[in-house]
């Protein structure tokens, strides 16, 4: 819509992952180097985390575009899978047909493929995006798969990429076996204030822009409302360009940026982040406070199950994880049929 108006060859702020527009900040360069390390040094697990919209998927695509053809890659972007579906998805990525096989046959098929590929001089890489959605049982299955190794090195290399909740899940006590196999962990931080101007100008340049469309005084506002998250920067800048186009302006003014923020109905990033954290803490307090109701004699079993099943999902601390596990056990126990005792005659 505004491409011709601003003399552009493409839309510079699409939110879809596009490696042509990837801006290699210091954090993104480090994360990519760690993923490359997993391949070339034949390490077991590398874990990369970052907030929603921080550019993790684009980094994966950039890595895949540069990988040597000697590396066989299975990449999973759909992670709402059980153990069998995970094995099927991996085998499909490697070009096999696993859908008529049972789990034991799937494991044998995959192990045979890994060994044969290794003997052929291939490296085998498994990349899982949105890994925070994987269940613990699936993560345990991946741990077992990574145990296929020679005396000197791993055969299957795994890169887990996800939101910060992935770290919380890996740090739970029952994930210690997987965590010990992780050789590198890195969190992709948001862009700094100094990096945001470079990011915006980089994307505009790739899109064919020959002049500065965003005056320097606007970057402080952009930083305040996006927190340096690339996807949020894209959304705000795209909306601001649309507002300027509607007003027939050739560069973005403060009023255009204000208009974009009004249309998006955004708060400052620090306020939105604080509200999100407050909601998490509120839900955790709800879990703690309502545990006391379990000791009341007049509460029925259905109420207990509703309390447990409604407890907040992303529990960060190990203490809360243990409490959640204990509550689940109580709920399961309440669902078990009670033995019938016969009265003595």
What is residue 179's predicted lDDT score, i.e. its pLDDT?
Answer: 87
Whole-number Cα distances in Å, 23 to 9, 170, 191: 18, 29, 10
Widest distance between CA atoms in the chain: 98
Listed residues 124, 156, 188: the one ending a domain? 188
The answer on 173 and 300 residing in a single domain is: no
Residues 151 and 251 in one domain: no
Same-domain pairing of 174 and 211? no
Query: For position 224, which CATH number holds?
Result: 1.10.8
**16 inside domain:** no
- What's the rounded mean pLDDT across residues 288-308? 46
Q: What is the pLDDT of residues 38-66, one digit of tens each?
A: 788 776 789 999 999 999 999 999 999 99
**226 and 282 inside one domain:** no
Same domain, yes or no, for 37 and 147?
yes
pTM: 0.77
Instruction: Say whether both 54 and 198 belong to one domain.
Output: no
Strand order in the sheet with 71-76: 71-76, 123-128, 156-162, 45-50, 182-188
Assess whether 180 and 34 both reside in one domain.
Answer: yes
Residue of 136, 93, 135, 140 lying closest to 114 (CA atoms): 93
Q: Percent of the chain beyond pLDDT 90?
A: 59
Whether residue 205 is contained in a domain is answered as yes
State residue 6's pLDDT score: 92
Q: How far apart are CA 69 and CA 111, in angstroms?
A: 21
What is the structure's pLDDT at 333? Answer: 56
Domain span at 315 = 271-335
pLDDT tens for 12-36 read 999 999 999 999 999 999 999 988 8
pLDDT of residue 230: 97
Together in a domain, 137 and 282:
no
Are 299 and 259 found together in one domain?
Answer: no
Residue 305 and residue 170 share a domain:
no
Identify whether the C-beta of residue 1 lies closer than 8 Å to the C-beta of residue 245: yes
Model pLDDT, residue 8: 94
CB 35 within 8 A of CB 63: yes
Residue 203 belongs to a domain: yes
User: d(Cα 195, Cα 29) in Å, to the nearest integer?
Assistant: 13
166 in Cβ contact with 160 (< 8 Å): yes
Tell me the pLDDT tens digit for each residue of 250-268: 899 999 999 999 999 999 9
Question: Average model confidence (pLDDT) for the chain?
Answer: 83
Local structure of 317: helix, strand or coil: coil
Q: How many residues would you count in the chain?
A: 345
Q: What is the count of structural domains for the chain?
A: 3
| CA atoms 174, 167, 270, 241: torsion sign | negative
Residues 172 and 207 in one domain: no
CA distance 222 to 232: 9
pLDDT value of position 336:
55
DSSP code string of 87-99: HHHHHHHTT---T
Of residues 47 and 298, the one with the higher pLDDT is 47
Instruction: Tell me: do 234 and 154 sit in the same domain.
Output: no
4, part of any domain: no
Q: In the numeric block, which tokens belong to residue 173?
A: 């006590």
Domain's final residue, options 188, 204, 227: 188
Last residue of a domain, one of 164, 188, 212: 188
Q: Is the pLDDT of residue 219 over 90?
A: yes
Q: What is the CATH number of the domain that holds 43?
A: 3.40.50.300
Tokens representing 301 are: 């079993």
Confidence check: pLDDT of 318 > 90: no
């Amino acid at each position: 819509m505004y491409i011709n108006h601003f003399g552009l060859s493409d839309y510079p702020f699409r939110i879809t992952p596009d490696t042509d527009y990837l801006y290699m900040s210091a954090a993104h360069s480090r994360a990519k180097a760690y993923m490359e390390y997993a391949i070339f040094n034949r390490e077991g697990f590398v874990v990369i985390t970052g907030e929603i919209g921080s550019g993790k998927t684009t980094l994966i695509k950039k890595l895949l575009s540069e990988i040597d053809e000697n590396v066989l890659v299975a990449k999973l972007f759909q992670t709402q899978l059980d153990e069998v579906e995970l094995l099927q998805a991996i085998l499909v990525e490697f070009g096999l047909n696993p859908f008529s096989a049972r789990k034991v046959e799937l494991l044998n098929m995959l192990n045979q493929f890994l060994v044969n590929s290794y003997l052929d001089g291939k490296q085998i890489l498994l990349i899982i995006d949105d890994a925070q959605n994987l269940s613990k049982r699936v993560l345990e299955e991946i741990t077992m798969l990574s145990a296929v190794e020679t005396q000197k090195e791993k055969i299957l290399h795994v890169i887990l990429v996800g939101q910060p909740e992935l770290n919380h899940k890996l740090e739970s006590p029952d994930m210690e076996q997987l965590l010990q196999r992780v050789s590198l962990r890195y969190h992709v931080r948001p862009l700094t204030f100094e990096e945001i101007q470079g990011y915006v100008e980089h994307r505009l340049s790739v899109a064919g822009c020959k002049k500065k469309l965003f005056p320097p005084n606007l970057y402080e506002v952009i930083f305040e409302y996006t927190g340096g998250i690339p996807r949020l920067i894209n959304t705000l800048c795209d909306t601001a360009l649309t507002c300027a186009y509607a007003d027939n302006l050739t560069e973005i003014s403060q009023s255009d940026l204000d208009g974009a923020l009004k249309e998006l109905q955004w708060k400052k990033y620090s306020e939105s982040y604080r509200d999100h954290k407050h909601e998490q803490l509120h839900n955790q307090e709800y879990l703690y406070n309502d545990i006391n109701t379990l000791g009341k004699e007049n509460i029925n079993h259905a109420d207990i199950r509703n309390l447990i099943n409604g407890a907040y999902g992303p529990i960060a601390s190990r203490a809360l994880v243990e409490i959640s596990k204990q509550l689940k056990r109580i709920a399961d126990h309440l669902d078990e049929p009670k033995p019938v005792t016969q009265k003595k005659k």
